[in-house]
């Protein structure tokens, strides 16, 4: 058997009871439960005022327990940064200065790969415009251009501190667009945080998406999905890794292929507590027009995965959309979500490798 190549940890912001536990408690619980590390979404989740003493203490706690420690920044879209007043507060009203101070604080405790996102998923009730990609006051292309300009302004700070900002494959952006931003600004300063549950919202095949961004991926959010057909197209539901239809064996192979000469990638489980509602309105002409870079092969694979999801739910192989999440959600259920995900990702890495004679196609149905 192979030893695990990538360690599996947890999301510090969404860890069950995180608000009650505080970052110290999350680190302690992570080690106690046998997980490998913590990815705090923003470094301000570790210390809202970037107190160097507290950050150093958290670094020392993680190191003492052999845990990885990752963190992030925030939004890098000038049309959305007004939503993050805390970052401007850190910069005395200057968002760029606030980001600079966050980068400096992170680098001081050895955190050099830093998460960011490019917009937001707002409210399900807004329909198509729940995703900032479909704003009409500013086009998505204008937003992408503004993001690139902002990243170019941030790049000298990142390079000066040996850091990189990793753009999440979030609900509003395609993997093609993420890769274009990385290559435009430079992969030494900009990389990718891979979240496969999000790429399906843009109509993408999770395995193909992983392969597109694998050369630039330095952080991850790991979670699975099932899909269901709706009158508008499809609905995505988040599930624990192994409880959905993403072929994580193929995904991990794609990621590992680009880490042979670098440090292993950490796999961070982003758990959730309750059913979300993320529509994929494939039948809407506005949605179709907004995806000029979507390969037909991706869309067809997504339809296949939706068929597979519905078939498995009908056969009772996996709970239906209304039966998966408990009501009300509980911390114990969320902890089990994390455990199941970790077990699945670890098992895939420690399983015997198939010989060429017995190898199976990457797109097989997940077990």
| Sheet order of strands, 224-229 included | 224-229, 234-239, 278-280
The predicted pLDDT at position 33 comes to: 96
Residue 110, Cβ neighbours under 10 Å: how many?
12
What would the pLDDT profile of 92-120 be if each residue is shown by its tens digit?
Answer: 999 999 999 999 999 999 999 999 999 98
Residue 217 host element (H or E) = strand 217-221
Tell me the C-alpha distance between 213 and 169, whole Å: 9
Which positions of the chain have pLDDT values less than 70?
1-4, 353-367
Q: Quick one: tokens of 257?
A: 């292929």
Signed CA dihedral, 214, 220, 222, 225: sign only: negative
Predicted local confidence at residue 4, as pLDDT = 54
d(CA 108, CA 128): 42
3-state DSSP assignment of residue 245 = coil
What is the CB neighbour count within 10 angstroms for residue 199?
A: 29
Q: CA–CA separation, 116 vs 255, rounded Å?
A: 20
Residue 34: partners with Cβ closer than 8 Å, 6 or more residues away: none
Q: Is 356 helix (H, G, I), strand (E, B) or coil?
A: coil
* Token digits of residue 365: 């149905």
- Other beta carbons within 10 angstroms of residue 262's beta carbon come to 8
- Return the residue matching tokens 């959730």: 272
Amino acid 251: pLDDT: 97
In degrees, to the nearest 5, what angle opens at C-alpha 171 toward C-alphas 161 and 142? Answer: 70
Please report which residue ranges of the chain form alpha helices under DSSP H: 18-32, 52-64, 85-90, 95-108, 140-160, 175-185, 196-199, 206-213, 248-256, 285-289, 296-314, 331-350
The residues, ordered by sequence, that sit 6+ positions from 202 with a Cβ below 8 Å of its Cβ are 171, 173, 174, 175, 291, 294
Nearest to 158 by CA among 138, 178, 136, 187: 187
CA dist., res. 356 & res. 360, Å (int): 9
State how far the alpha carbon of 322 is from the alpha carbons of 22, 274, 313, 350, in Å: 32, 10, 11, 33
pLDDT, residue 284, reads 96
Distance CA 97, CA 119 (A): 20
Question: In whole angstroms, what is the distance from residue 278 CA to residue 269 CA?
Answer: 19
Instruction: Count the Cβ atoms, other than its own, within 10 Å of residue 133.
Output: 25
Report d(CA 232, CA 124) in Å as an integer: 14
Specify the long-range contacts of residues 285-294, CB closer than 8 Å, at least 24 apart. 286/128, 286/134, 287/128, 287/233, 290/133, 290/134, 290/140, 291/174, 291/202, 291/203, 293/174, 293/176, 293/177, 294/174, 294/202, 294/203, 294/204
Residue 365 is predicted with a pLDDT of 45
């Amino acid at each position: 058997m192979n030893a695990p190549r990538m360690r599996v940890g947890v999301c510090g912001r969404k860890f069950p009871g995180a608000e009650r536990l505080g970052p110290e408690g999350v680190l302690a619980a992570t080690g106690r439960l046998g997980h490998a590390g913590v990815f705090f979404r923003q470094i301000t989740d570790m210390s809202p005022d970037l107190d160097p003493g507290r950050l150093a203490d958290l670094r020392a706690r993680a190191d003492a327990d052999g845990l990885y420690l990752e963190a992030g920044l925030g939004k890098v879209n000038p049309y959305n940064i007004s939503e993050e007043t805390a970052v401007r507060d850190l910069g005395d009203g200057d968002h760029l200065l606030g980001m600079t101070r966050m980068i400096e604080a992170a680098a001081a405790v050895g955190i050099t790969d830093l998460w960011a996102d490019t917009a937001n998923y707002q409210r399900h009730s807004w329909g198509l415009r729940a995703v900032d990609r479909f704003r009409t006051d500013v086009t998505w292309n204008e937003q992408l251009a503004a993001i690139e300009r902002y990243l170019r302004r941030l790049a000298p700070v990142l390079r000066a501190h040996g850091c990189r900002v990793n753009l999440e494959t979030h609900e509003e952006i395609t993997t093609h667009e993420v890769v274009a931003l990385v290559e435009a600004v430079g992969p030494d300063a900009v990389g990718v945080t891979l979240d496969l549950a999000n790429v399906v919202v843009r109509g993408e095949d999770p395995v193909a998406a992983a392969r597109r961004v694998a050369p630039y991926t330095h952080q991850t959010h790991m979670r699975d999905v099932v899909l269901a057909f709706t009158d508008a197209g499809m609905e995505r539901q988040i599930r624990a890794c192994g409880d959905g239809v993403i072929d994580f064996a193929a995904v991990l192979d794609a990621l590992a292929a680009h880490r042979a000469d670098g440090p292993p990638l950490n796999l961070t489980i982003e758990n959730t507590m309750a059913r979300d509602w993320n529509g994929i309105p494939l039948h809407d002409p506005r949605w179709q027009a907004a995806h000029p870079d979507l390969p037909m092969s991706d869309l067809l694979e997504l339809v296949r995965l939706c068929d597979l999801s519905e078939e498995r739910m009908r056969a009772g192989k996996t709970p239906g959309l209304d039966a998966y999440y408990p009501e009300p959600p509980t911390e114990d259920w969320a902890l089990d979500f994390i455990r199941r995900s970790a077990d699945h990702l670890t098992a895939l890495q420690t399983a015997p490798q198939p010989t060429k004679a017995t190898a199976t196609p990457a797109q097989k149905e997940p077990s």
